[in-house]
Homo-oligomer: A and B are copies of this chain.
Amino acid sequence: MELKKLEPVGTESLVDKVESRLLKYFKDNELVPGDAIPKEIDLANSLGVSRTVVREALLRLRTLGLVESKKRRGMIFKQPDIINNFARVLDPTLLGEDTMKQLFELRLILEMGMADFLFENRQQKDLEELERIVAEEEATATQKIRFSLDKEIAFHGKLYQMSNNVTLQKFQDLLLPVFNYVYLKETKTNPDVYHYSEGEFVSHGMLLDVLKKGTPESFRNAMRRHLEPHFDHAFRNGSR
């Protein structure tokens, strides 16, 4: 006799099931942001579980940013804000060293890769703002050898903004603490000023110049040199 294959026993909890059902409900009904969701009691009744379970499932979805709850008004469907989920866990004191390192590498990748979008979207006022940032930086640069971290952030942050990609931009905002952390660690373990290969140093001012008059290709090359110390650091510590 033919035995049926033993189906894996459903090990998922009630809350798990309810969560999937809710997600399916959202998709099937093609909810748009702002649409109301049945109230907890009704859901509990139709699903045949306690309100507790429904609540926990909804709470998960809320944590993921898929629903929003207001007293008396009930719950409404929301477009999940991908990025927001990271915010709470993206804490250098919570993340492992390796994850931090990889996120830092990700930043290098992003800045190298966004050249084309910068050239596509650059506006006169953006370039002017970069100009201001560079000017301020150079005015205060005499006392310190290493550029100050906040000017560094201002310049690169502006670049992300110019990419015109809100998701990317939020992502970068979120990653800032990681950068700071790795950056500080980097300067601490390696306190001596980095020595660029002769004649290869690229400042923010020079980057801006390329952004004005150059091409995506030349900008990438300039950016690569600008980021050289960080790349070297990433490579030196081995890529796992």
Contact = CB atoms under 8 A, between A and B. Distances in A.
Contacts of A98: 166
Contacts of A234: 117
- The secondary structure that dominates the A interface is helix
A106 B163 CA distance: 10
Interface residues of A, number: 61
A165 interface: yes
A229 interface: no
A229 to B, nearest CB: 13
Given A23-B88, A102-B165, 9 more contacts: A63-B63, A79-B94, A80-B94, A85-B86, A105-B117, A108-B113, A112-B116, A112-B220, A165-B239
Interface of A: 23, 26-27, 30, 33, 55-56, 59-60, 63-66, 79-80, 82, 85-86, 88-91, 93-96, 98-99, 102-103, 105-106, 108-117, 120-121, 163-168, 171, 216-217, 220-221, 224, 231, 234-235, 239-240
